[in-house]
Amino acid sequence: MKKIDLRKEAKGRECQVRLFGICNFNPETTVLAHFRMAGLCGVGQKPNDLFGAFCCSSCHDEIDRRTRHMDYDTVRLLHAEGVFRTQNILISEGKL
């Protein structure tokens, strides 16, 4: 099976994180935002791309805490939901 570059797949996609009042809904800014969790990654090491969400630049800034408009636990929950939505899209397209 051919390996899919999930980072490239993110380009031009709708944001799947959709942080309330923060999301810019601009597919031109969408990247793959990795969900960080103990056991999935380490210092200076990103998790597997399967644990990433299609994410606009504004939501990504909040996830990475460059901005802090929302509380951390809410951002993590919505990011995780975005990862599941992204996986569902990729499954429906036959890419996962």
Residues identified as active-site:
34
- Tell me if residue 78 falls in helix, strand or coil: helix
Q: Compute CA distances 2 → 41, 50, 69, 94, whole Å.
A: 24, 15, 40, 12
Asked whether 29 and 10 are in contact (CB, 8 A), the reply is no
Q: Compute CA distances 10 → 5, 16, 38, 42, 54, whole Å.
A: 9, 10, 24, 23, 5
